[in-house]
């Protein structure tokens, strides 16, 4: 049965997002799941072949998607992130990239058996990593900020550099091997590269100026940016192939450093589009491969080339380029190992394969096989090893999911102390030094800054925290904080203290409906919780067992008791909320806020039972 093009498009998106979900559900590298899925539906079972089925639209679709993905990644590259990292990032993106090009070209010539011309083209291309493969790995591995930022900056900056190096190598080769050498094309390459960078900067400044002056309404801003990205990519790419990647990177970095609030507002939307495109494009690329190409990967010269690229070329270029940069040995070891290749390598190599074959370099026919071999082995090995290696090198933030609490008061300090006793990472953030007095005196970790400020974004490491609680005395501010952080933490992980009063009335109808789930119960607001602390209420942990069930526990509590959260045997935290179904099971620990006399009564009853047993 031949599938319609519409059904094939649906299948690609369905399997792409399905692969992302499977990877999230079972804690697997998403790029590995997507690659395997594409191979299964493409070359193995022959269900689809997007390259043939899409025809002439295939390459433009891939190119535009790569441009949008690269732009979205570069939109996160604020120079403020580079404080303390400028030197290693600069060295890796320049010296490291050059060394990787030279070493990779030598390896391609002597091990893979490629001619010098083809080797230097592919050597330049294979220095790329890119956001399509690096970003999913960083989300999965929970690296500490410094190595994570280095890998992110390298992946996005070196992506266009690798493509340009491949073009540069080809132009040099064409110049040197020509019967009548003409430097015009070589000069055109350099001029086109400079034009692409300047054009991208102008596009970024232009979009920023339009946004700042309000010439585009809010509902048109996202479509306008995407249209500008395609424009910014296409014009330079028509002049010189692959310079469009440099242009959109320059545009993204320019916008990222202009400090425009509306651009920041769109960032999460663009991240969602980027994930959708990565999922679809990776499925399309792997499904378009031929079975012969996959089988050829396991030939000795290609396996030898891939192993040397992974275990010698990459580590050596990183270690040499980062001498004297202040990176620790463990950080250099991790960065030197992690370099998965992805969409840019696959797409650009197919372009150069056709160009080199047309120029008479017959050995270029193995470029696609060589590229996919490197992509497949690096994606598999780095995808499964990054988390393990980060833990071994003490560069991982793995541990129990932490909680970030916005607002310092008597209740939040006691809540933080109870979470800390359960070995849950916690931090209290407040802009008032006076309000933070209780947290300081209690020895609770705190951060003195406005949580919504740009400074907090760059200085507070939020990786250890999976939950956010807004618990200030301003109900509208709590809703604003929850709304701001909901895209980052997820709708089910963002909570606010109830905005209602005793009669279930909110100070604003909007405040009660936007931004975060209501923590605990609607009738228990911050004033009630602080009052309970002042009355001497205590935090109590209760184990749910087969002998003492959750039903019995509920029957033992009075109306004043507030159920706070559950600690699962795995260490995961589940906060109580009427808007979420929270049902403890055997082995769980329930933490509640109850009157002290209730606590004393339970102790006395227990002691009494113990005496009777004696």
Last residue of a domain, one of 359, 392, 425: 392
Last residue of a domain, one of 392, 420, 440: 392
| Residue 245 included in any domain | yes
> What are the tens digits of pLDDT across the range 332-350?
999 999 888 877 777 777 7
- At residue 414 the predicted structure's pLDDT band, cuts being 50, 70 and 90, is confident
What's this model's pTM, rounded to 2 decimal places? 0.65
Q: For 497-501, which contacts have Cβ atoms below 8 Å and span 24 or more sequence positions?
A: 497/469, 497/470, 497/471, 497/525, 497/526, 497/529, 498/522, 498/523, 498/524, 498/525, 498/526, 499/475, 499/525, 500/525, 501/525
Q: For 400-403, which contacts have Cβ atoms below 8 Å and span 24 or more sequence positions?
A: 400/424, 400/425, 400/571, 400/572, 400/573, 401/425, 401/465, 401/466, 401/467, 401/571, 401/572, 401/573, 402/426, 402/427, 402/464, 402/465, 402/466, 402/467, 403/465, 403/466, 403/467, 403/468, 403/469, 403/573
Q: Look at the chain and report how many structural domains it folds into.
A: 2
DSSP string, 432-456: -TTTTHHHHHHT--EEES-TTSHHH
- At residue 262 the predicted structure's pLDDT band, cuts being 50, 70 and 90, is low
pLDDT of residue 458: 58
Distance CA 41, CA 20 (A): 16
Q: Is the pLDDT of residue 326 over 70?
A: yes
> What are the tens digits of pLDDT across the range 308-317?
999 999 999 9
Q: For 610-614, which contacts have Cβ atoms below 8 Å and span 24 or more sequence positions?
A: none
> What are the tens digits of pLDDT across the range 147-196?
888 888 888 777 777 777 877 787 787 777 766 766 677 788 788 889 99
Query: Are residues 386 and 410 located together in one domain of the fold?
Result: no
Spell out the alpha helix ranges (H) of 422-540: 437-442, 454-459, 475-489, 509-513, 526-534
Query: Are residues 388 and 457 located together in one domain of the fold?
Result: no
Query: Are residues 406 and 388 located together in one domain of the fold?
Result: no
Q: Is the pLDDT of residue 511 over 60?
A: no
Query: Which of 607 and 386 is assigned the larger pLDDT?
Result: 386
Contact 91, 322 (CB under 8 A): yes
CATH number at residue 116: 1.20.1530.20
Find, among 465, 430, 531, the residue nearest to 438 by Cα: 430
Find, among 490, 302, 481, the residue nearest to 407 by Cα: 481
Q: Which of 160-164, 245-249, 541-545 shows the lowest per-residue confidence on average (mean pLDDT)?
A: 160-164
Query: Are residues 418 and 462 located together in one domain of the fold?
Result: yes
Query: Are residues 431 and 371 located together in one domain of the fold?
Result: no
| Residue 365 included in any domain | yes
Query: Are residues 406 and 534 located together in one domain of the fold?
Result: yes
CATH number at residue 509: 3.40.50.720
Query: Are residues 494 and 428 located together in one domain of the fold?
Result: yes
Find, among 409, 464, 454, the residue nearest to 436 by Cα: 409
Q: Which of 60-69, 415-424, 510-519, 526-535 shows the lowest per-residue confidence on average (mean pLDDT)?
A: 510-519
Last residue of a domain, one of 332, 362, 392: 392
| Residue 32 included in any domain | yes
Question: In whole numbers, what is the pLDDT of the chain averaged over residues?
Answer: 80
Domain around 526: 402-613
- At residue 15 the predicted structure's pLDDT band, cuts being 50, 70 and 90, is very high
């Amino acid at each position: 049965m031949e599938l319609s093009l519409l059904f094939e498009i649906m299948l690609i998106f369905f399997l792409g997002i399905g692969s992302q979900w499977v990877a999230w559900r079972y804690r697997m590298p998403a790029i590995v799941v997507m690659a395997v899925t594409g191979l299964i539906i493409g070359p193995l079972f022959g269900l689809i072949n997007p390259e043939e089925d899409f025809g002439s639209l295939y390459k433009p679709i891939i190119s535009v998607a790569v441009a949008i993905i690269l732009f979205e990644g570069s939109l996160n590259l604020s120079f403020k992130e580079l404080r303390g990292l400028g030197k290693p990032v600069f060295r890796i993106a320049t010296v490291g990239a050059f060394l990787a090009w030279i070493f990779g070209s030598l390896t391609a010539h002597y091990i893979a058996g490629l001619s010098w011309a083809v080797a230097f083209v592919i050597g330049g291309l294979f220095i790329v990593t890119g956001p399509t493969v690096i970003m999913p790995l960083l989300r999965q591995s929970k690296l500490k900020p410094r190595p994570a930022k280095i890998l992110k900056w390298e992946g996005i900056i070196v992506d266009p550099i690798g493509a340009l190096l491949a073009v540069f190598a080809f132009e040099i080769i064409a110049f040197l091997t020509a019967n009548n050498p003409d430097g015009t094309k070589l000069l055109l390459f350099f001029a086109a590269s400079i034009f692409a960078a300047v054009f991208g900067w102008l596009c970024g400044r232009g979009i920023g100026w339009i946004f700042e002056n309000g010439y585009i309404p809010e509902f048109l801003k996202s479509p306008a940016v995407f249209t500008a990205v395609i424009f910014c990519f296409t014009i330079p790419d028509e002049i010189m192939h692959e310079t469009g990647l440099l242009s959109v990177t320059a545009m993204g970095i320019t916008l990222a450093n202009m400090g425009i609030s509306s651009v920041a507002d769109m960032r999460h939307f663009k991240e969602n589009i980027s994930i959708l495109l990565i999922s679809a494009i990776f499925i399309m690329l792997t499904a378009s491969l031929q079975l012969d190409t996959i089988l050829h990967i396991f030939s000795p010269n290609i396996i030898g080339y891939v192993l040397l690229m992974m275990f010698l070329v990459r580590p050596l270029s990183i270690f040499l380029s980062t001498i004297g940069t202040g990176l620790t040995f463990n950080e250099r070891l991790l960065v030197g190992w992690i370099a998965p290749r992805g969409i840019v390598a696959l797409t650009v190599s197919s372009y150069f394969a056709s160009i080199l074959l047309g120029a008479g370099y017959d050995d270029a026919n193995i470029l696609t096989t060589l590229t996919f071999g490197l992509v497949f082995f690096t994606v598999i090995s780095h995808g499964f090893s990054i988390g393990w290696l980060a833990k071994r090198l003490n560069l991982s933030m793995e541990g129990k999911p932490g909680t970030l609490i916005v607002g310092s008061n008597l209740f939040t300090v006691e809540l933080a102390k109870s979470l800390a006793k359960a070995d849950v990472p916690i931090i209290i953030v407040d802009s008032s030094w006076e309000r933070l007095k209780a947290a300081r005196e209690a020895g609770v970790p705190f951060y003195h800054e406005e949580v919504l400020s740009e400074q907090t974004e760059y200085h507070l490491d939020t990786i250890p925290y999976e939950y956010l609680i807004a618990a200030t005395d301003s109900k509208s501010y709590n809703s604003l904080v929850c709304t701001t952080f909901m895209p980052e933490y997820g709708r089910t992980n963002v909570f606010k203290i109830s905005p209602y009063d005793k009669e279930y009335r909110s100070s604003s109808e909007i405040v009660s409906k936007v931004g975060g789930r209501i923590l605990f119960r609607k009738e228990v607001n911050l004033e009630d919780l602080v009052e309970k602390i002042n009355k001497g209420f205590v935090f109590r942990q209760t184990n749910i067992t087969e002998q003492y069930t959750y039903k019995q526990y509920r029957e033992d509590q009075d109306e004043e008791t507030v159920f706070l959260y559950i600690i699962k045997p795995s260490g995961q935290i589940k906060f109580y909320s009427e808007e979420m179904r929270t049902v403890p099971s055997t082995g769980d620990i329930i933490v509640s806020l109850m009157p002290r006399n209730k606590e004393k009564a339970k102790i006395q009853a227990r002691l009494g039972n113990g005496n009777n047993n004696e």
